A and B are shown apart, each in its own frame.
Chain A
């Protein structure tokens, strides 16, 4: 009997994987539902004896079984998209059945947890520090130092909270990790619990990921006896982007409005219910079991670049020909990612811009594509790698519209706690609308004779409005409490600087308003 492997990842299912699996079963095949390899342009991908066929439709079933299908991509592991990766966090992707304990154990599962229990908390923290692992949620804070702080914090009750509120557009690595390898996340959390002395974990998961919710709940039920005495619970969000910010997430978890808290106190000392709490992203925790293997920390450290050690699961998204998950050591250039690995745009048109790091990340011009994937390099270029999302736009993109959307998104999702974000984002949308209209004439109030201080000239041109936008962005950047208001200026200003022609017919106005853009 032929064994057919088809992913049960949400993206494959959205592409018709369930119907395909049923069709193969009807033909008398044994169908195994595995995690996804991450080659999304080929999903649903059908695997028979290592050979891949995709994207497969119901019409392809007979041809694939008869060996005359023209959709073969050859041996999947030899495909250049897979063969050039360094998969550590996603080492099981495509290879195991997500909820099979047997598959998990056969691929090194629970070895890290077992060793962690033998070496004890101080040694675990040392290994994490040695690996160089930094928080994969976006801020890049060293995970080992965070754990050490919680470990040393006094208190009888501590918590491990997994931030699985992956709201950034252009990112899906958390989703794939939770759906494809849920036991690894539980193992990572149990190890974190072992390290800091916490016996309770919460996974805060967004409501937009129904498949991940289902899989993780099932995984917790299956593996409860293995991670015990550590306990874990999934908490589902309610559609607020800002709850991906760690303090907002903690408030939401406590059953409050998801408003950001001022720091300090750090969540490590006063987190969930004011008790010491580790808050880590899914990908950070998912990398932990491997690091805790004998020699795993060294291996992890050896991949990487500069002060960014280890691998980054990069997500190629948007208008890209070969989109999907690409895990590789830090240091890869954007040109390699977009043009070589990603194969350029899906539409076949030239690449105009790439947004790295989600809705709060800067738009990067193809002239800067030699930039290396590294926390520090991006920070120096006024950009961020964030959660590793790379969203490609072709030349039909209107950068003024994208800048406006960044402000609009911030205004919709702002938690409302601080003024620069809550009001600034609304004003930002208005200013961008006026820039689009080429400025504005003086209004009735300004022209009233009583308003003798108001200028009575023809009005404000786009250049004046651009100056105002620049001011506003400065205020938001330095005055906001969290990254939502603080980083929204990145996409706005990077779009303005690099594509002034999209903002006004007279780009000289932008140069005048932004002296540094004139270089």
Chain B
């Protein structure tokens, strides 16, 4: 058994008894490997007695699961209405420029910081009241 399938087995065993275990398993797999790839899908399907199509259907539905890992640092910028009202669109160019290929920038719809946007998230850290300088720095330090 490879190390990966062992870890997967542990994750599946941890949640197996829950009612509706698939999402907790997928969340842990995504956190552990940075993706839910075809190999993981197959093993999860086997572990839960589901078809691979069932598992792939679920994996491909949710925005949080990636098919391949992206090891780059990740900055999520909120571009929903409230942050738009506070001018986030004017910051996107600066953020992309300073990110280049090194940092992954993605859009998130709402971090619940709507009264103090523009807001962004890096890992579990949240950032508010961003302006061009702050977001450039945030991306550079990511």
Contacts and interface: CB of A to CB of B under 8 A. Distances in A.
A355 B30 CA distance: 35
A405 B64 contact: no
Nearest to B121: A208
Given A169-B83, A240-B63, A254 B20 contact: yes
22 contacts: A14-B116, A14-B119, A14-B125, A40-B115, A167-B110, A169-B83, A170-B80, A172-B113, A208-B110, A210-B124, A233-B18, A238-B65, A240-B62, A240-B63, A255-B23, A316-B115, A317-B85, A320-B115, A394-B85, A397-B85, A405-B84, A415-B61
A391 interface: yes
A327 to B, nearest CB: 14
Contacts of A43: 116
A319 B129 CA distance: 12
Q: At the interface, is chain A mostly helix, strand, loop or mixed?
A: mixed
Given A14-B116, A318-B82, A391-B82, A273 B19 contact: yes
Contacts of B80: 169-170, 359, 409
The 9 closest A-B pairs by CB, nearest first: A323-B115, A255-B22, A169-B80, A317-B114, A318-B85, A238-B62, A239-B63, A14-B126, A239-B64
B81 A166 contact: no
Interface in B88-142: 108-117, 119, 121, 124-129
A13 interface: yes
Interface of A: 10-11, 13-15, 40-41, 43, 166-172, 174-175, 200, 207-211, 233, 235-241, 252-259, 272-273, 315-320, 323-324, 346, 355, 358-359, 389, 391-394, 397, 402, 405, 409, 412-413, 415
Residue with the greatest number of chain A CB neighbours at <10 A, chosen from B23, B62, B121, B128? B23
A97 to B, nearest CB: 20
A169 B62 contact: no
A253 B20 contact: yes
A227 to B, nearest CB: 18
A318 B128 contact: no
A166 B112 contact: yes
A10 B113 contact: yes
Nearest to B130: A14
A171 B114 CA distance: 7
B111 A208 contact: yes
Contacts of B85: 317-319, 391-394, 397
A85 to B, nearest CB: 15
Contact of A11 (B61, B81, B83, B116): B116
Contact of B126 (A13, A237, A241, A317): A13
Nearest to B22: A255
Contacts of A315: 114-115
Given A41-B115, A238-B63, A319-B85, A14 B127 contact: yes
B26 interface: yes
Nearest to A175: B112
Given A171-B112, A405-B81, A257 B86 contact: no
Contacts of A355: 81
Contacts of A415: 61
B72 to A, nearest CB: 18
A255 B114 contact: no
B57 interface: yes
Given A13-B126, A170-B114, 19 more contacts: A10-B112, A15-B116, A169-B80, A170-B81, A172-B114, A208-B121, A209-B112, A239-B62, A255-B21, A255-B22, A255-B58, A272-B19, A318-B86, A318-B114, A320-B115, A324-B115, A397-B84, A405-B84, A415-B61
Interface residues on B, range: 35 or more
Nearest to B127: A14
Given A10-B112, A208-B112, A238-B64, A170 B20 contact: no
Contacts of B21: 255
B34 interface: no
B57 A391 contact: no
B33 to A, nearest CB: 15
Nearest to A38: B115
B41 to A, nearest CB: 13
Nearest to A317: B114
Nearest to B111: A208
B23 to A, nearest CB: 5
Nearest to A259: B61
A257 B57 contact: yes
Contact of A208 (B19, B108, B115): B108
A469 B83 CA distance: 26
Nearest to A233: B18
A393 B83 CA distance: 10
Contact of B114 (A239, A258, A323): A323
Given A238-B23, A317-B115, A14 B82 contact: no
Contacts of B62: 237-240, 258
Residue with the greatest number of chain B CB neighbours at <10 A, chosen from A172, A175, A389, A413? A172
A204 to B, nearest CB: 9
B75 to A, nearest CB: 14
A368 B55 CA distance: 49
A413 B22 contact: no
B26 A238 contact: yes
Nearest to B30: A238
Contacts of A167: 109-110
B109 A413 contact: yes
